[in-house]
Structure 1
Amino acid sequence: MSAEVIRKEKIVKFEEFVDRRLKPDLVQAIAMRDKVFQKQKIFLDLKRNIGNLQKNEVNSLQSMINLGSEVYMQADVPDTRRIFVDVGLGFHVEFTWSEALDFIEVREARLQRQIEEYTQLIASIKTQIKMVCEGIRELLQLQ
């Protein structure tokens, strides 16, 4: 085999590595980070709602609850001082407002660490893609 044929084969292998491995990994890492952002938003909304309940001293309320498939039902909450929070794996725990805020603080810290980890992973994958593309460019410039 000539050096030109070997070089072209290397270029094809590098391009396949980027397209079949690195780019899908990047898409998956971004999707996972977006899921964590969604969880973070849910806890931020819950924290804000608890703050509003405390600030306005709301002890009972009426609300429309989505039962699924955009079917709503009116709900009466006779005592808002205790709420159920989804703690994961399908479990809901009854908390007071202060307990819920403590739990949210711990969960937010954990979610922030996950976001940072995914952000570092995304940066690493982008760096790998850039390095492989630079290697391909160097191989293309060889005579």
Structure 2
Amino acid sequence: MATRSEAIPEKVLKYEALLNETLRGDLLKLTKLRDKCYEEISQYLQLQIIIERREVDGTKPLKAQVDLGCDFYAQAIVEDPSKIFVCVGYGFYVEFTDKEALAFIKKKTERITATAEKLTIEMASVRAQIRLVLEGLKELQGLSE
């Protein structure tokens, strides 16, 4: 049977594995998910600004650059910009009027913001767990501040 002094290095290794393999990985995943949410919000807000500017300019033709794929862009002119296609998720696009698009963007950004806030709370929880494990490691190894 292992004595108390022999069991401490085993506990240290288990805590370090938990810290490095699980907690830090979880924190990284949560950070990437939250960043993706913020990026999506940014794209919807850019679209909102474009729509609002178009409402001021009237219905004159719209010039835009269109991504053809692999970062190849082409100049495009939209003769009738009264309708717009908006990605609603899962690769589906819906044709909206400007007012409908603005209402959708508002609801969508609110939902994504709520998701980002939940992820931020989860990240804080994981950070607290990391701090707890680090304090436990310090105590097991007899280290001081």
Question: Please, what TM-score do these two structures have when normalized by structure 2?
Answer: 0.93
Aligned residue for 2:27, secondary structure, equals helix
The one-character-per-residue Cα deviations of 1:36-58 (angstroms, maximum 9, x if unpaired) are: 11110110100010011012224
Shift of 1:59: 3.1
- Structure 1 partner of 2:36: 35
- The answer to whether the aligner puts 1:3 opposite 2:10 as a matched pair is no
Aligned residue for 1:111, secondary structure, equals helix
- Structure 1: how far apart are the matches of 2:142 and 2:73? 64
> Which letter does structure 1 place at the counterpart of 2:104?
F
> Which letter does structure 2 place at the counterpart of 1:53?
R
Aligned residue for 2:80, secondary structure, equals coil
- Structure 1 partner of 2:140: 139
Gaps of 5+ in 2: none
8 Å CA contact 1:59–1:81 kept in 2: the answer is no
Count of residues in Structure 1 that have an aligned counterpart in Structure 2: 142
8 Å CA contact 1:61–1:78 kept in 2: the answer is yes
CA root-mean-square deviation: 1.3
> Which letter does structure 2 place at the counterpart of 1:74?
Q
- The answer to whether the aligner puts 1:126 opposite 2:112 as a matched pair is no
- Structure 2 partner of 1:111: 112
Shift of 1:140: 1.3
Aligned residue for 1:132, secondary structure, equals helix
Alignment of 1:35-114 (within 5 A): 35-114=36-115
The share of aligned pairs that are identical, in percent, is 35
Gaps of 5+ in 1: none
> Which letter does structure 2 place at the counterpart of 1:59?
K
- Structure 1: how far apart are the matches of 2:8 and 2:64? 67
Moved over 3 A (4+): none
> Which letter does structure 2 place at the counterpart of 1:36?
C
8 Å CA contact 1:87–1:93 kept in 2: the answer is yes
